[in-house]
Chains A and B, each alone.
Chain A
Amino acid sequence: MDLIPTPANAPLPPASLSTVVQPAAAAQALVVALGTIHTGQGNAVPTRILPGNIPAIEVAPEQLVDTALHLRDDLGFDLLSCVSGVDLIEQRQVVYHLRSTTRAWLMEMTVNVPATNEIDSVIGVWSTANWLERETYDLFGITFAGHPDLRRILLDDEFVGYPLLKSFRPTPLTVHDRATTATNGARALAGDTQRGIGHQRVVPSHLSQGDQERLHPGTPTFGSTQFHGRSFPPQTWRHQPDYNGSGAESHEEEQKK
């Protein structure tokens, strides 16, 4: 891996590239435009600037659809890019990322989900919201009032729980002894697994052909003739004079042990 020398015709690098995707001027214009949004009490919605110069506003759940219509019709945010659920443990949020195809604007709108765990659907404002809200419902359990088809989308209909919540556990917390050779990570640390405590040993009911030959040499094993579910060897073999019977006896001794 050698460095490629810079080609002779390469232009000199500019002094510095702007480090942000959204130019500061566009972000400032957007912040001014967002100042027209007011809460129900008449106060202007405070605007934060996220890394990447993305203005972000937080709207009340009751103001969601009105604000969305205002953003779409008056400010030109015609493209709903992304709807994300967020579980902040003490609070659930739904975050909308909006774009304008005409003005190269990007902004974020956050809604704090009330205790009823239900907010209004914006599907009437942006048709994209259909599946995006279904996905948020599927993974976070937040319901959207007015959604025409609020079903699980990525997971099974029978799935229990909402996996992207921080309280979600993929397995039940009570671990029962299982008849398996697989080890549980938490138990392996305790050393119980190595000592075999709490685990049922799984013993095959019959020996496979290779084990049969290894443990009882001389036993005739014929390919797939494995006598599954029957005592080995068959009763008819015991009284054959040519057969010395050593394999059968040792196998029975094994069984007794």
Chain B
Amino acid sequence: MATVNEAPRYAESDEGFRTEEMILNMGPQHPSTHGVLRLVMTLEGETVVHCTPVIGYLHRGIEKILENRTYMAGIRYMDNSDYLSPMLNETAYAGAVEQLMGIEPPRRAQYLRLITNEMQRIASHLVAVGTYMLDLGAFTPILYAFRDREGLLELFEEVAGSRFNVNYMRVGGVLHDLPVGWLQRLEAWLDTFENSWKELDVLITGNEIFMKRTQGVGYIDPDQAVAFGMTGPILRASGVNFDLRVNRPYGAYRDIKVNPVVREDGDAFGRYMCRMYEMKESARLIREGMAALPGGPIGTRTPIALRPPRGETYFAIESSKGELGIYLISDGSEYPYRAKIRGPSFVNLQIVPELMRGHKMGDVVAILGSIDLVLGEVDR
């Protein structure tokens, strides 16, 4: 006979069933965790009571590596941070060094950065949407998404020499100028992308199963989103109009104005829609950047050994996932004294336990996919 002080081993559910808490380990090798993320979940029946993310399986110590590389050589290691948007990572690091040295890249370089950054944003969002649908059980959209992304990667290969780890940005500009006919091929890709965007939209948006699984799932309050430091599409999907390209424009975004995509939904569906329409907006920005692309040099002349003056600075850009900031300290030598990467995925992952709580087991994947994590950036 149980005494009064003894905690009940079983909880009584509303339907009168007896349920018991269960600990479920998801990952680190799980296809829906987008890398090596481990979630330790406590389940009460099918309901998630508690969720603890365990990260660090992909920790390579990029910040320590950057301290042991010269400023130019460190740019290459930024590719591996968020491996789905290397162009954006490099822009952040190069921009931080430029801000510390007080140099301004030529306008053509800034426009090339804008064009490649927006291409990378489309590529990243295509992977986000495609793999999200893969998580939810629809296989077709990822084929559409990767087909379109392949065109972008081919263009990257032409301009930078590499599809994926591009190593294209340099302190004071970019590495190469555009090859002959590249802008025409980009324009042709944009024309086809308009149609494929509609295909993707028709395929996913409005699908009843998709709407049922995403609407009202993983709702983030605007205040909660700000308190948890959410940035990027997650913040904008919660109704907060905050985009670093608009609020603190850098580079060519001072000339070309961005219309931020803001939605009031705050749920997984809103985040998906935010990414979809950001792709459209990015395509528009690429067209504007191409039309206004100035001539001239693609880089300022910098000394071979970059020695920024002693000091510190913080430079942040709007990456595909949110605010990507670099905190850089220079001691006057060729090597950064400290280089801190503020990765948006790392901060965005923090809210996942809050979102999971109270949801059913089946919604876990729907919530996790809507955050759009890249574990390379979480673990660095």
Contact = CB atoms under 8 A, between A and B. Distances in A.
B45 interface: no
B24 interface: no
Interface string A13-32: 11001111110000000000
A209 B248 CA distance: 68
B201 interface: no
A154 B54 CA distance: 9
Q: Which of A18, A56, A82, A87 has the most CB of B within 10 A?
A: A82
A169 to B, nearest CB: 12
Contact of B292 (A11, A51, A164): A11
B212 interface: no
Contacts of B242: 79, 101
Interface string B50-71: 0000011001010110000000
Interface in B122-163: none
Interface stretch (B32-40, B78-86, B99-107): B99-107
Interface string B220-264: 000000111101000000001010000111100011000000000
A3 B104 CA distance: 21
Interface in A151-169: 152-156, 163-164
A154 B59 contact: yes
B291 A104 contact: no
B314 A82 contact: yes
Interface stretch (B2-10, B12-20, B173-181, B361-369): B173-181
Contact of B227 (A1, A11, A128): A128
Contacts of B231: 79
A185 to B, nearest CB: 13
A84 B340 contact: yes
Q: Which of B99, B100, B102 has the most CB of A within 10 A?
A: B99
A193 interface: no
Contacts of A9: 291
* Interface size class of chain B, counting residues whose CB lies under 8 Å from the partner chain: 35 or more
A10 B292 contact: yes
Contacts of A56: 312
Contacts of B228: 127-128
B287 interface: no
A99 to B, nearest CB: 8
B325 interface: yes
A108 B314 contact: yes
B63 A51 contact: no
Interface string A27-55: 00000000000000000000000111010
B180 to A, nearest CB: 5
A86 B329 contact: yes
A62 B287 CA distance: 53
A213 B268 CA distance: 66
Contact of B100 (A1, A51, A80): A51
A131 interface: yes
A64 to B, nearest CB: 18
A52 B314 contact: yes
Contact of A79 (B56, B226, B248, B292): B226
Contact of B107 (A17, A79, A81, A127): A17
A3 to B, nearest CB: 6
* Interface size class of chain A, counting residues whose CB lies under 8 Å from the partner chain: 35 or more
Nearest to B67: A164
B323 interface: yes
Given A52-B314, A154-B56, A163-B64, A104 B293 contact: no
A198 B56 CA distance: 36
B177 A1 contact: yes
Interface in A122-179: 126-128, 130-132, 135, 139, 152-156, 163-164
B312 A50 contact: yes
A104 B321 CA distance: 19
Interface in A88-108: 95, 97, 99, 101, 104, 106, 108
Contact of A153 (B55, B100, B227, B329): B55
Nearest to B331: A88
A19 B313 CA distance: 14
A5 B180 CA distance: 10
A97 B229 contact: no
A4 interface: yes
A126 B311 contact: no
A101 B226 contact: yes
A129 to B, nearest CB: 9
Q: Which of B227, B247, B312 has the most CB of A within 10 A?
A: B312
B1 to A, nearest CB: 37
Contacts of B249: 21
Interface string B288-304: 00011111000000000
Interface in B324-358: 325, 327, 329, 338, 340, 342, 346-347, 349-350
Contacts of A86: 329, 338
Contacts of A135: 346
A242 interface: no
Given A51-B102, A101-B242, A1 B176 contact: yes
Nearest to A104: B247
Contact of A52 (B99, B179, B346): B99
23 contacts: A3-B295, A4-B295, A7-B291, A10-B292, A10-B295, A19-B102, A19-B104, A21-B249, A22-B248, A56-B312, A79-B226, A79-B229, A81-B316, A82-B325, A82-B342, A86-B329, A97-B325, A126-B229, A127-B228, A154-B55, A154-B56, A155-B56, A156-B56
Given A6-B295, A154-B380, A163-B64, 12 more contacts: A3-B177, A3-B295, A4-B180, A21-B249, A50-B312, A50-B313, A82-B342, A127-B229, A132-B347, A135-B346, A154-B56, A155-B56
